[in-house]
């Protein structure tokens, strides 16, 4: 079992609060798996993300390959780093999700999420997540 999605929705995660909110409010059916959609900086990497406008527009266009995708070459926001530097956030970016400091349209960047969003119902401290995992494991082992 992977736990990345659970820890995105932790208090310590640097994920933007809007990303965390969407994780908590989503269900497994709200995720999509693709082999090559978010390939900028991460070519050929299969991904599972929350369904968004980038996916919907790409699918409506017939799932065209890189170079012919809707809105390709545009930016969906800016990430303000703690140093004060601003980094443009390209559509179809494979490296990264909206973190604290992201300013842009949250309906376009990749928000990594597994089908386990189904059981993530709140944002908790990481220590509480680990405590509950250990408690559940102990109960399962009898």
The structure tokens listed for 138 are 């102990």
Per-block mean pLDDT, blocks of 10 residues, the chain (142 long) = 87 96 97 89 84 96 94 92 88 85 93 94 96 94 90
pLDDT at 15: 95
pLDDT at 42: 76
Instruction: Tell me the C-alpha distance between 135 and 116, whole Å.
Output: 18
**Cα 30 from chain centre:** 12
Instruction: Tell me the C-alpha distance between 75 and 79, whole Å.
Output: 11
pLDDT at 40: 80
Q: Which of 26, 41, 19 is nearest to 101 (CA)?
A: 19
């Amino acid at each position: 079992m992977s736990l990345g999605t659970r820890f995105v929705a932790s208090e310590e995660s640097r994920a933007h609060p809007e990303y965390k909110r969407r994780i908590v409010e989503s269900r497994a059916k709200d995720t999509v798996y693709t082999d090559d959609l978010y390939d900028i900086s991460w070519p050929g990497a299969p991904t599972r993300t929350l369904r968004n406008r980038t996916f919907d527009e790409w699918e409506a266009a017939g799932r065209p390959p890189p170079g012919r995708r809707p809105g390709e070459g545009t930016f969906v926001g800016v990430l303000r780093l703690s140093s004060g530097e601003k980094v443009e956030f390209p559509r179809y970016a494979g490296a990264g999700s909206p973190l604290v400091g992201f300013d842009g349209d949250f309906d376009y960047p990749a928000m990594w999420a597994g089908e386990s969003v189904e059981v993530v119902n709140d944002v908790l401290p990481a220590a509480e997540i680990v405590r509950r995992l250990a408690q559940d494991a102990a109960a399962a082992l009898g």
